[in-house]
Amino acid sequence: MANEPGAPRLTRRGWLYAATALGAAVVAPGCRSVRGNKPEQDATSARRSNMSYDVVIVGGGPAGLSASLALGRARKRVLICDAGPRRNAAAERVHNFVTRDGTPPDEFRQIARKQLERYPNVEARDVRVESISGPRGAFRVELASGVVEARRVLLCTGMIDEMLPFDGFRELWGRSIFQCPYCHGWEMRDRRWGYLARAADSAHLLPFALQARGWTRDVVVFTGGAFEVPAESRATLETAGVRLETSAIARLVARDERLEAVELAGGARVPCDALFAHPPQRQIDLVRAMGVALDGDGYVQIDPMKRETSVPGVYAAGDLTTRMQAAIAAATAGTQAAAMINVELTMELASSGALG
């Protein structure tokens, strides 16, 4: 692999312009294929081995799929690896994604993968990425099925939700237990809602519970006795018509795979159709092993403009970087990361004469 010169320095504003249409017009002419201008040939990969990619994307959820599309259209040679399952695999439908509202998660992925087939420079494999090593420009990416090289790596691996230790929680997750009212609130409007708040959620209890009243009149906050709710917050909940239940929770009662009630330690049952909860999350082992810096909440720290992590040449987009988790937000982040990677990589290759 040829030595890679450093990318020409750009200011923050420069990055932004370069990654938008104005910049594309400047960068694109340098992107012609060294073998000609056939659309199926990409500029940077023609002289490289079959196992060598401009960008390897780890994770085929909304972030990785969107990034693949943008990089494919920018004529980069891309490998997207997905091991499944995606975070929302338990959900029946994806909501709040304009043009895809109500689409089952598998169908969402199939549509995206089908659209990527138009770009022969994008390869999608259902395979796990085991490890990533090496320097920026020459990463060694070990897959379950072999080893490939990559000039850049984009992590789109999502987060792992740790199921709460209540009987029934895992089975009902995605069906009657949800993280986000924007995703599933409409379908559950005017029903009986619970909010299962953990001690770690105490600061969000009030905004979340009051917000829930916008979807339904019937809201109960369950603390399981895990923390004290200040008197002032109790008064606000009462004024808003939100009930507070502080007893320990024994289990979740289901019928026909749907939540029916939350059973308290004493045996009393609080009827409930939908339960909202924010279980703890963790990064996958690969991300932890790579040593990218994490913030205090465990999300990958990135440069907000370039989306580069603390490891040079490794970028991140989607749920693994933020608690603001939604499919369309992850897709947007993937597109941003792709544009930034593309600008940097193309400038680097063009300025070293590598584009021919």
Ligand X SMILES: Cc1cc2nc3c(=O)[nH]c(=O)nc-3n(C[C@H](O)[C@H](O)[C@H](O)COP(=O)(O)OP(=O)(O)OC[C@H]3O[C@@H](n4cnc5c(N)ncnc54)[C@H](O)[C@@H]3O)c2cc1C
Binding mask 212-251 for ligand X (x = CB under 6 A): ----------------------------------------
- CA-CA distance, 21 to 112, in Å (whole number)? 23
Binding mask 113-152 for ligand X (x = CB under 6 A): ---------------xx-----------------------
Residues 6+ apart with CB under 8 A from 142: 129, 130, 131, 132, 133
Find the shortest distance in angstroms from Cβ 98 to ligand X: 10
100 binds ligand X (CB under 6 A): no
Select the residue interacting with ligand X from 33, 68, 96, 335 (CB under 6 A): 96
Q: 283: phi > 0 → left, psi -120 to 50 → alpha, else beta; which?
A: beta
Q: If you ran DSSP here, which 8-state letter would residue 112 be given? A: H
49 Cα distance to chain centroid: 30
| Residue in the block written with tokens 């420069």 | 14
319 binds ligand X (CB under 6 A): yes
Binding mask 26-65 for ligand X (x = CB under 6 A): --------------------------------xxxxxxx-
90 binds ligand X (CB under 6 A): yes
Find the shortest distance in angstroms from Cβ 314 to ligand X: 14
How many residues of this chain interact with ligand X, rule: CB under 6 A?
Answer: 40
E strands present in 15-100: 52-58, 78-81
Q: 175 or 243: whose CB is closer to ligand X?
A: 175
Q: If you ran DSSP here, which 8-state letter would residue 5 be given? A: P
Q: What value, to the nearest 5°, has the Cα angle with vertex 214 and ends 213 and 216? A: 60
Residue 103 tokens read as: 């689409």
Q: At what angle do helices 205-212 and 231-240 cross, to 10 degrees?
A: 10
- CA-CA distance, 252 to 270, in Å (whole number)? 10
Q: Which stretch binds ligand X (CB under 6 A): 94-102, 211-219, 256-264, 304-312?
A: 94-102
Find the shortest distance in angstroms from Cβ 175 to ligand X: 9
- Which positions touch ligand X (CB under 6 A)? 58-64, 81-88, 90-91, 94-97, 128-129, 156-158, 161, 173-174, 179, 183, 284, 286, 318-319, 325-328, 330
